[in-house]
Amino acid sequence: MTSSPPIAEVLHGAVDLHCHSGPNPFAREFDHVEAARDAERLGMRGILVKSHHHNTVMDLLAMERDLAKIGTPVFGGIALNAQIGGINPYAVAMSLRMGGRAVWFPTFSSRCHCENDHHGFPESDIEIPNRIIDVTTADGRLVDEVYEVVDLIVESDALLSAGHVSPPEAHKIFTAGRDRGVRRMIISHPNFVIDADPGECSELVELGAYIEHEVGMYDPMGYRKWDPSLLLDWIRKIGPDHTVLSSDLGQRGRPMPVDAFMRVGKELLDRGLSVEELRQVACRNAAFLLGLDAERPAPVGG
């Protein structure tokens, strides 16, 4: 039997779309500069840094001098939580026009998140005011501002993330995105917070979305230690052509993203995922979603 190349070689050029480096009101293990240095170990093509509370583009501009010395570029975006005014097209326009690459619809201000009692988010050293940000009206229609935000995403060819909204809400947002010309859409950790099943995710894939899973949750040295066989099962059900691996790491006391990528990548290879399939979910799909590649990657084996 032919052995796989070293895991660092397989994952060279990976992209992390879900890095929680600091500054942040939640305690963080490292900042954006340190995240870039970590990513450079794998020759990562890029990382996307996410805050639930603020526009990370501003952080990166403030750190620009140090980031310029590192081979892996770092990109930012904005999450539409209560701290930036909810579904706020003005904040979105500023973020994207200053170089932002992603818009996350409400995460910890979504109704789904606020009414979910097992999300286990880290504690903050300060009290963070929050309120539910609804993406739909009482009769189930998307609020008008959602369409304004979608159009801004189209203008910048940026990434639209469903955040932590419920699967039915994500379906409505992705439908609007598809109909108005969004090319890059993603939903994160379907089996965490939002409780989406593979059938619901397959419907989102039909709208053009990718399904993101977080290596931080499957890392044998990580904080949840879920069985990587569960992750492999998800990849098989959805398909590697529509799956993305990201870290969702940066929180105090949790592993470094590159270490988690390598451990989980090795576990997947040991369980039967091919090298090409692993590169599809860790490198190619995410590069397209971050705008590093203009076109969708060809299907594995295509």
Phi, psi of 291 (to 5 degrees): 85, 15
Give the pLDDT of residue 124. 72
3-state secondary structure of 248: coil
Give the pLDDT of residue 253. 92
Report residues of the chain scoring pLDDT below 50: 1
Give the pLDDT of residue 275. 98
Please spell the DSSP secondary structure of 64-127, one letter per residue. Answer: HHHHTTSSS-EE-EEE-SGGGTSS-HHHHHHHHHTT--EEEPPSTTSHHHHT-S---PPPBSS-
Q: Which CATH architecture has domain 7-289?
A: Alpha-Beta Barrel (3.20)
- Are 46 and 289 in contact by the 8 Å Cβ rule? The answer is no
pLDDT tens-digit series, residues 263-282: 999 999 999 999 999 999 99
Closest CA to 212 of 226, 225, 196, 227: 196
Give the pLDDT of residue 1. 47
- Are 164 and 112 in contact by the 8 Å Cβ rule? The answer is yes
Residue ranges of domains in the chain: 7-289
Give the pLDDT of residue 95. 98
Give kind and range of the element (H or E) at residue 46. Answer: strand 46-49
Give the pLDDT of residue 178. 98
pTM exceeding the 0.85 threshold for the entire prediction: yes
Amino acid at 5: P
